[in-house]
């Protein structure tokens, strides 16, 4: 069998960075890879594999570039309003303390957005918000909780005053919100999922996965939810056949775990 340069590259990348290129969609992944290689002036996968092997900084750059970290507070504000006005009250009726997971949280703005909503709805509530991402560096950004104005375009002046404090680099999420969120590194394609969750947000993450990888992740989300629990997905990530994995659609981008009858 001939030597396939890309297969070798894929193998090397997985060994060096933990990123499994097999689970990412072909064209999108190739485009991102090509852009990065052009920027670095590299013209072969073999040369890139060698560089990644030798250079720590290049490895970190690869991970950040590859796992695209774009996010903002209350991304799709109308959906967050629906979360606050419809689904959080629904979940609170079933359980006074909610267990929430922001999967692929990026810089934490998604997790802090939910924490803010929970604080507004139940000021004395004791909820847990778990926020995970595969990318260690972006989790450090989340831990710091400092954001530029462009990340805060959907934050009202009242919320800005109540839940943020001025910081030399923008605004920092106040401690009362930061302490509601637990940050943890986790790869959705490899690692164990939490169980007994009331609400999972996984938005703008699985778009990069192949169909089989995406289906498996959704199936595992379904298993992780309590009966009646809610899964909130991104605007381009609808689930084709939700009932096959024990979910039902309750509103665009919101799914509920079907209860045993």
- The residues that touch ligand SAM, with contacts defined as CB under 6 A, are 67-71, 75, 104-106, 110, 133-135, 138, 187-189, 203-205, 234
CA dist., res. 201 & res. 181, Å (int): 14
3-state secondary structure labels for all residues of 61-116: HHHHHHCCCCCCCCCCHHHHHHHHHHHHHHHHHHCCCCEEEEECCCCCHHHHHHHH
Pairing of strands 146-147, 170-173: antiparallel
Q: Please identify, using beta-carbon distances, which residue of 27 and 123 lies nearer to ligand SAM.
A: 27
- Supply the minimum distance, in Å, between the C-beta of residue 227 and ligand SAM: 25
Alpha helices of the chain — where are they, by DSSP H? 5-17, 26-40, 45-54, 56-66, 77-82, 88-94, 109-121, 136-144, 157-163, 175-178, 211-224
- Supply the minimum distance, in Å, between the C-beta of residue 243 and ligand SAM: 25
CA dist., res. 118 & res. 99, Å (int): 11
- Supply the minimum distance, in Å, between the C-beta of residue 241 and ligand SAM: 22
Q: Please identify, using beta-carbon distances, which residue of 118 and 205 lies nearer to ligand SAM.
A: 205
Q: Please identify, using beta-carbon distances, which residue of 229 and 234 lies nearer to ligand SAM.
A: 234
Q: Please identify, using beta-carbon distances, which residue of 204 and 222 lies nearer to ligand SAM.
A: 204
- Supply the minimum distance, in Å, between the C-beta of residue 189 and ligand SAM: 4
- Supply the minimum distance, in Å, between the C-beta of residue 240 and ligand SAM: 20
Q: Please identify, using beta-carbon distances, which residue of 67 and 222 lies nearer to ligand SAM.
A: 67
């Amino acid at each position: 069998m001939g030597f396939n340069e890309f297969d070798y590259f894929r193998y090397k990348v997985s060994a060096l960075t933990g990123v499994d290129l097999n689970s990412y969609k072909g064209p999108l992944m190739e485009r991102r890879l090509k852009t990065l290689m052009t920027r670095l002036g590299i013209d072969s996968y073999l040369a890139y594999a060698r560089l990644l092997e030798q250079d720590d900084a290049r490895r970190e750059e690869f991970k950040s570039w590859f796992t695209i970290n774009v996010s903002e507070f209350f991304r799709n504000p109308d959906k967050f309003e629906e979360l606050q006005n419809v689904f959080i009250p629904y979940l609170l009726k079933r359980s006074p303390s909610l267990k929430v997971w922001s999967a692929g949280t990026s810089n934490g703005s998604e997790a802090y957005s939910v924490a803010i909503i929970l604080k507004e709805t139940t000021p004395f509530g004791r909820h847990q918000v778990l926020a995970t991402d595969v990318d260690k560096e972006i989790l450090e950004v989340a831990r710091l909780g400092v954001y530029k104005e462009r990340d805060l375009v959907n934050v009202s002046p009242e919320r800005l005053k109540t839940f943020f404090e001025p910081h030399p680099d923008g605004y920092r999420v106040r401690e009362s919100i930061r302490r509601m969120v637990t940050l943890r590194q986790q790869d959705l394609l490899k690692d164990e999922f939490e169980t007994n969750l009331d609400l999972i947000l996984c938005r703008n993450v699985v778009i990069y996965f192949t169909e089989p990888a995406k289906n498996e992740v959704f199936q595992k989300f379904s298993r992780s939810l309590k009966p009646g629990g809610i899964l909130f997905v991104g605007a381009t990530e609808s689930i084709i056949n939700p009932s096959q994995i024990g979910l039902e659609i309750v509103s665009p981008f919101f799914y509920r775990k079907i209860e045993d009858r």
